[in-house]
């Protein structure tokens, strides 16, 4: 009786040990020692150098730091949780992005703060979908890291394309439209200003011409624009009023 019971106890202990033990190759979050960390031996020396060059070029272009880390497994944590905790452990800031890849699980996380993404989460999603994931699907670890770096550099250049050169026409098209819109507004403002100036000059010329005609000549008065006659009549009223006031003052002085 004791033999079978002992075997059952040992089996239970072994099962619990298997379930509770961390997965083989799993690595907890840690402080990143360098911009490119390969703890999974996923890159050759040449590939490591290529990824480092892409990361350095991104910093030169946009002053954005990309941290790349390869491990065997994130278990028991999820990819995003593992990457977030590694960000915290590494004191990464708003200009720091991280690409964490578990080669054994074929799982990854690509975390890019808004400042590093140029304020565009949509473009970051494009980099994930069109650049990083196709490379990871093919087991091209170096290609995925390089794609992340060139994709982020492409955000600063005005767009992101799936072709791999990190450039695109979306941002450039928007900029071009804004430039054309600004030029159009300037042209409209210039036309409005010029039209008002021409009307003012024509009005002044009409008023000057009205002053020279005979006020008793109906035909001559009919040829003068109404607004010119209106201004001329107001100026005559003012002149008459001033003349009356002047005469009244002179009369008062004479009486005194």
pLDDT tens sequence across 197-255 = 887 777 777 767 766 766 666 666 666 677 766 776 776 766 666 666 655 555 555 56
User: What percent of the chain has pLDDT above 90?
Assistant: 47
Is the pLDDT at 50 greater than 60? The verdict is: yes
* Per-residue model confidence (pLDDT) at position 182: 83
241's tokens? 């009023």
20's tokens? 């509770």
Q: What is the spatial distance between Cα 29 and Cα 25, in angstroms, rounded to a whole number?
A: 13
Residue bearing the bigger pLDDT, 200 or 47: 47
Distances (CA, A) of 24 to 71, 99, 104: 11, 22, 10
Q: What is the spatial distance between Cα 103 and Cα 128, in angstroms, rounded to a whole number?
A: 16
Query: Do strands 107-111 and 96-102 pair parallel, antiparallel, or not at all (unpaired)?
Result: antiparallel
Q: What is the spatial distance between Cα 180 and Cα 188, in angstroms, rounded to a whole number?
A: 12
DSSP code of 36?
E
* Per-residue model confidence (pLDDT) at position 16: 44
DSSP code of 255?
H
Q: Note if the bond before 192 is cis, omega within 30 degrees.
A: no
Distant-in-sequence, close-in-space partners of 88: CB < 8 Å, separation ≥ 6: 29
């Amino acid at each position: 009786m004791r033999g079978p019971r002992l075997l059952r106890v040992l089996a239970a202990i072994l099962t619990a040990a298997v379930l509770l033990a961390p997965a083989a190759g799993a690595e907890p979050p840690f402080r990143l020692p360098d911009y490119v960390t390969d703890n999974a031996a996923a890159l050759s020396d040449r590939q490591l150098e290529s990824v480092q060059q892409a990361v350095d070029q991104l910093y030169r272009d946009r002053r954005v730091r990309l941290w790349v880390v390869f491990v065997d497994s994130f278990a028991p944590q999820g990819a995003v949780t593992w990457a977030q905790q590694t960000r915290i452990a590494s004191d990464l800031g708003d200009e720091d992005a991280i690409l964490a890849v578990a080669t054994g699980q074929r799982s990854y996380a690509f975390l890019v703060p808004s400042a590093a993404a140029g304020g565009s989460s949509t473009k970051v999603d494009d980099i994930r979908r069109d650049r990083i994931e196709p490379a990871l699907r093919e087991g091209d670890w170096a290609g995925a890291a390089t794609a992340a770096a060139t994709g982020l550099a492409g955000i600063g250049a005005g767009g992101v394309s799936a072709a791999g050169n990190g450039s695109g026409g979306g941002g450039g098209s928007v900029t071009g439209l804004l430039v054309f819109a600004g030029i159009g507004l300037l042209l409209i403002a210039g036309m409005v200003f010029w039209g008002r100036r021409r009307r003012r000059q024509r009005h002044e010329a009409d008023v000057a011409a009205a002053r020279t005609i005979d006020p008793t000549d109906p035909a001559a008065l009919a040829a003068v624009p109404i607004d010119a006659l209106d201004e001329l009549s107001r100026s005559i009223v003012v002149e008459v009023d001033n003349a009356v006031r002047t005469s009244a003052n002179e009369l008062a002085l004479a009486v005194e």
